[in-house]
Structure 1
């Protein structure tokens, strides 16, 4: 028997079938694009019908091919076909079955296939519903599909590689690896590298499909706009496009929310939004889409703002493509936890972005003069005027975010310009050092303006409003919002006014302004109360036509949730003992994280917290942390709960990834995650020897306590010079002083170990670095018994308002979508 023959059979069928389906989908999309194009351009009705029939056959073939590709890739992952590089790279045998779907879209190829799948599904739906708009709209969508499928081809034309195939065999993907010289190489590949630990969360099973459906849906409104421009039917496309715009706003908004929920549940930064570049890139198309929805309503009602509507829908589509470029090109580097590494698709992505950007600009520019405009200016008292201003505010919000999110792109552009033209431009621009503070400082005012607009704009009428009647109605909501603002500000300890100093012509002028958080309290309250008033008083509680009011109420609740949960979050785990955890941790970490020894209760805020135990398998280590809520008056325990934050071993990086655990209450959440643990050696009963490089004020940990270097003392006599490292040791409730010495005598270095009294720890002072004033200390610990963890705990008040607000807002979009869909059918 030939010992080089593999005992693990390689199944080439999956790869051959998958590659065939991708090629078929690509060719069918090209045929559909051409056929739909001629179905629009031909003037003879018989010819139109023939071309449309061919286009449909081609698109249905494309659809079935994409579906077959999805099924093939899923079967490969489900059956652990590790002979394929994509399966090996993103799955493993020990991965729970519930995360198999996450493997599908973890990589570039899978996520492109997911995007292509949703575009195919939407295109198929449009074939049966868009009627006279089918040919021009599907032309645009089919061209989009040609590009999307091209990213999955994985073929070479000369030296140029087009796309990345998910059906590549290991031996073809890793050609330089010597193991593939042997025919039995599969005997050496027993398992895959596994799924990224951050993606092993139930939100990542549902968040990416919803988000990519949102990205795909943004294409549809602009496809209608494109069709309107192409066919010179500049206004007729508005009604059929409106339901799809509302669907896009609902789905993309929900996808963004799910990403926030994933970050809150799975990431350890504490919160649901960190202004990460990829988070921003998904938010911006939603902001522009919402602006486009309001412009579509203006055009439908009054005919105003048609040109701006074309631009806004194009920008929403453009920013989806731009987001894809940012995420997939590797240009973001390490600035985002979401982005892909460099994959060789950079030029391909750039061609994709450039093609559709150029196509959109050209078709708008060629038709600009012919797009109807309403010569009569909008009245300031009209609804459409303020809706238009609100849309521009949404646009400003998106542009502000993308300007700084795109800094890595600017650096690359300037670098190319320097190479080509010798311009000498800077290429080291950096994103904001504190992105949360930077973005929030501007976006809070955007939120205030939008919330106030949503409150009063619905009481205005299209074209013109009786101002006296308007104020008579709106004053009730304003008064109630002010009362609610004052009550809430007092409860949350926000000042109503704050003092600001302006420097005008060298002269300092002090003035009082409304505190921004208090103003946002008013704006959110006003949005809720005014829209509830409108729903009851004007719409008479008719929910079927109240989608806008419902969405605006949800937006107001969302703003209040964001404000209160972030501005009033309380870090429980304050390091009141002042322990220095080491130079590898920054000051914020040292302040906000607490050291817990096993079975030693510690007071944290209104809780007594105890690290009780831990349990682990090959993948996860859970830490049982008990919280006991103490009654401030009686000192008794009101209630008890346990949290189980855990560490997950990432098979790819071989690093432990922290996953938080959260106790949910109606009014607040208690969020907990593990920040640091002892080494494996420290957790055993064997003596542990460790070398430490410390400076004055630093801390050395051992299993039962810790040592703080307070001072370095100098001793001299006739024969020697000594330095003593004065440590204060803390073991349980005991404190002691211990001082190992570093001595130079007769040109010899003497370092005698010194033992602690209350712990089995010996210290040796080994070396003095005079350059950076650090000192080398060796500790030897025996009879190691106790474990410890460093933990962070945060209370998020009223966080449920965030999830409630987004849910109500999505319901509002859904109600509006059904209403506009019904209107379109009846007309």
Structure 2
């Protein structure tokens, strides 16, 4: 059947190059494998030539796929499911890219694009390690390509095709109007495209400029974690267990910087787009990104220990192996749908669980494969991997936790084989050495990551073991009570470790160096605790004391690193990357504690209007202020007025204009909100904030009238009154101040014989404010020709003049909450939050400075 209006070429081109990228990545993997194994130079040269050609072809194919999918989104080709599902004609141009990576297929493609770019850098810059490293990169690319393949093999779906047509996706099956004869048993009608006027639109929470830039940076970080892993595995595979470290260190530092930046850009997006009143909620997907980053940071520090002392090489292999495995595990958590009800970030399950797990399982067992020392061991591991992959498919439902046992057994096997191949220094580190405390810090980070991932994985454990375990009602505190202790330890170690020397440090020298930063830190921390104060008593005195200690540790890290940079490093910025990064980390820690510990609710309910948020809501009525349109209300030091609102021209989205005034300041915020948009029940809201150097005023809409439920059913009560008489209503009284009749009306379409009446009313509320209302009535030939109504929204009143006889007026008064325009706000003050954002930037800059220094040193080698 020929379908009218379809443009099939972009999808055909895109899917063809998906297949090309799949085949090319497999060829590149095999060719790089052979180039690594052969010993004859001419053979190695031939295999390298083939491998590079295949990888170049793969990279070109990936960019063509990207262009094809972007073309489909940009031109609103809704015959493709991906465009229909993730975009709309009303979507601003800047959010087309956000729509690109909203879906699983687009985000996977973004990940593979970064692999291609970084892989090309390895090919260009590192001929020595190209073959083993790029074999692992190409192998990862092969698995990513399968995720966007979208084909069936014996009823088993391999990947999800981003170029599938809407009519082939099943979306239209339950839409009879789309079928021939309006019968769902019949095929799709040829002109179905004429009935599709628009797409399903991008999730409104993602329509934020941070979601245009945050995912690319985060996925660059995700992609970059493969390269420290690949160098570590290449070192084991080739038997060069020490030589790889100088090449891997710049990659690891780059990954720490970019991955960390991507995570915190997500926190900034959450701060500006989500209405939980913060930037980090220990959301499972947030945690799944944080965990591999923590392990990678631990690996960087043990790698530095090895470079200077020869210790901790085995720990480095373990950390660099696990950081990438946890990237894959976090991908599984995010894309499998297992966190669908536990996270606002998670994708829905689209049938990729088996592939995601296979990706993880194969790379788990790739580690012992490369750590093996004989071909016989490698053959056994390869057969074991294949057998476990198949058996997992059949035994996962029979033996609870079987997939987990398979993964753990692979990690244990790797550790055993790696220990046999990697030499270790027999001598123990001295407790007065820098490497000892760096290793302790790395170990604390690693244990912190394990605790976080265990808490995060509870939905997985529940599914595997049929448990009913949950973190509890106060999920954030479950994390915070442990991680605040981690912050204390890491803050102190960040301050003191650099004042130790490698190998050993005489006690008097250490005490002499650390005395000044310790004294200054104590003075500053005491000032903050006594003057700035943190009185966060929500979780009890014990937790508050831990916050105080963590704040002292954060200040210690800031001061100690500043002084170290100028005293020991003489202010040489090029050599101070580590101190700058640690200084930034200290600022991050202080910013988190101050902004969260001193977060202040501004929107205490002073309006007398109480909103019932329901039992399942986390909102507290007393912490939300309802603003009636045009009526100033007190909010802390501010007078706050709901001045108006405006609707999005093409979406069910309302922007509210909220004016804040104080004796010294005036500004306007524009939070927005919507109800039942894209099928979501209840209220969705995007916050708005005013930024100052030392604090933010942060507000979001927590409740507003629902027009579908807020219908006006009240009736007018008629009162007959003379001038000076009073009418009482529930919140005050109304006085008829003036009543005037006019025979001559200079109005169009009214006859000279018509009579008009005007009534002036004063509405006086009980709590003080008064309002003026003027009503008009026009009568002619015994009939009412025109009758005005006036709405006093602040008092929920509707007034009208019904009749006038002998200087007596019949006045209609209706009280109805449906006529009141209001919005309910939650507002916070976040003090010193810029310490957090500034600290993130400084940490990234310091890490990149360290990376640049390592690259310079590598060129000198």
Question: What's the counterpart of residue 511 of structure 2?
Answer: 471
Q: 2:440: which partner in 1? A: 389
| Partner SS for 1:259 | helix
1:176 to 159, 168, 173: 173
Larger Rg: 2
Q: Give the corresponding residue for 2:665.
A: 639
In the alignment, does 2:311 pair up with 1:304?
Answer: yes
Q: Cα–Cα, structure 1 residues 515 and 85, in superposed 2: closer, same or farther, change >3 Å?
A: same
Aligned to 2:656: 623
> Does the 8 Å CA contact 1:455/1:531 hold for their aligned counterparts?
yes
Instruction: Provide the C-alpha distance between the structure 2 equivalents of 1:374 and 1:638, rounded to a whole number of angstroms.
Output: 65
Given the alignment, which residue of 589, 593, 611 partners 2:620?
589
Shift of 1:647: 1.7
Structure 1 range deviating more: 302-311 or 595-604: 595-604
Partner of 1:443: 483
Q: Which residue of 1 aligns with 2:70?
A: 74
Aligned length: 724
1:245 to 252, 277, 282: 252
1:771 corresponds in structure 2 to none
Match of 1:750?
none
* Shift, 1:582, TM fit: 2.4
* Aligned twin of 2:420: 369
Residues 722-801 of structure 1 aligned to structure 2 (within 5 Å): 733=767, 781=815, 785-801=819-835
Query: Residue 336 in 1 paired to residue 343 in 2?
Result: yes
**Distance (Å, rounded) in 2 between the aligned partners of 1:81 and 1:649:** 28
Give the aligned partner of residue 710 of structure 1. Answer: none
CA contact (8 A) 2:796 2:819 kept: no
Q: Distance between the aligned counterparts of 1:388 and 1:299, measured in 2?
A: 10
Question: Is the alpha carbon distance of 1:576 and 1:65 closer, same or farther for their aligned partners in structure 2, counting shifts above 3 Å?
Answer: same
Name the CA shift for 1:681/1:29 in 2 (closer, same or farther; >3 Å).
closer
Q: Distance in 1 between matches of 2:521 and 2:84?
A: 57
Aligned-partner Cα distance in 2 for 1:402–1:645: 34
Q: Could you tell me how far apart the structure 2 residues matched to 1:267 and 1:115 are?
A: 25
- Contact between 1:682 and 1:784, CA under 8 Å: does it hold in 2? no
Q: Which residue of 2 aligns with 1:607?
A: 638
Tell me whether 1:541 sits opposite 2:567 in the alignment: no
In structure 2, C-alpha distance between the alignment counterparts of 1:319 and 1:61, rounded to whole Å: 29
Match of 1:657 in 2: 684
CA contact (8 A) 1:492 1:568 kept: no
Partner Cα separation in structure 1 for residue 136 and residue 640 of structure 2: 59
The correspondence for 1:143, drawn from 139, 158, 161, is 139
- More divergent stretch after superposition (486-495 vs 240-249): 486-495
Which of 324, 328, 332 is equivalent to 1:325?
Answer: 332
Find the aligned partners of 1:497 and 1:645 in 2 and give their Cα distance. 30
Alignment of 1:79-94 (within 5 A): 79-94=75-90
Quick check: 2:535–2:597 contact (8 Å CA) kept in 1? no
Question: Can you list the C-alpha shifts for 1:285-344, whole angstroms capped at 9, x where unaligned?
Answer: 111111111011011111111111100011110110010000110111211000011211
Mapped partners of 2:15, 2:536: distance in 1: 64
Moved more, 172-181 or 578-587: 578-587
Question: Root-mean-square deviation (CA), in Å?
Answer: 2.9
Are 1:117 and 2:157 an aligned pair? no
Once residues 157 and 509 of structure 2 are traced to their aligned partners in structure 1, the CA distance between those partners, rounded to angstroms, is 67
d(CA) in 2 for partners of 1:88 and 1:564?
44
Partners in 1 of 2:113 and 2:730 — Cα distance? Answer: 56
Whether the aligned pair in 2 keeps the contact of 1:731 and 1:759 (CA below 8 Å) is no
SS at match of 1:666: coil
Query: Equivalents in 1 of 2:714, 2:146: separation in Å?
Result: 57
- What is residue 749 of structure 2 aligned with on the other side? none
Query: How far apart are 1:587 and its partner, in Å?
Result: 7.1
In structure 2, what is the equivalent of residue 407 of structure 1? Answer: 458
After the TM superposition, which of the residue ranges 595-604 and 312-321 deviates more from structure 2? Answer: 595-604
2:626/2:825 contact within 8 Å kept:
yes
Contact 1:628 1:640 in 2 (8 A): yes
- CA deviation string 1:352-376 (max 9, x = no partner): 1111112224533334212111111
User: Are the equivalent residues in 2 in contact too, given 1:646–1:658 (CA < 8 A)?
Assistant: yes
SS at match of 2:128: helix
Taking the TM superposition and a 5 Å limit, the aligned residue runs for 1:485-564 are 485-494=525-534, 515-564=545-594
Give 2:753's aligned residue. Answer: none
TM-score by length of structure 2 reads 0.80
- Contact kept, 8 Å, 1:102 with 1:204, in 2: the verdict is yes
Map of 2:128 onto structure 1: 132
Deviations 1:375-414 (A, max 9, x none): 1111111111100000001001111111110001111111
For structure 1, the 5+ residue unaligned runs are 416-426, 502-511, 630-636, 690-702, 707-729, 736-757, 763-778
